[in-house]
Amino acid sequence: MPRVGGKAKTRKAVAKRFKVTGTGKILRRKQGARHLLQGKNSKRKRRLGQAALVSDADLRNVRENLPFSR
């Protein structure tokens, strides 16, 4: 949701979920690591603990909500 005029504000909910790297890439957590873990093998659970990059399709929306992260 772009803001028309006025002061740019950071969406705090978005700021808590994403991290911006030094080169400007945006990292996110992977879904699926919270519950029902006994049905997932160790390798899969280990990979779910690692951060992933935000896809190009979602990048613009995340950036709009983090105006001071560039």
Q: What is the mean pLDDT of the chain?
A: 94
Q: Is the pLDDT of residue 4 over 80?
A: no
Q: Is the pLDDT of residue 54 over 70?
A: yes
Q: What are 36-47's pLDDT values in tens digits?
A: 999 999 999 999
Q: Give the Cα separation of 56 and 23 in Å (integer).
A: 15
Q: How confident is the model at residue 1 (pLDDT cuts 50, 70, 90)?
A: low
Task: Give CA separation, 19 vs 6, 7, 26, 62, in Å.
Answer: 25, 22, 6, 10
pTM: 0.84
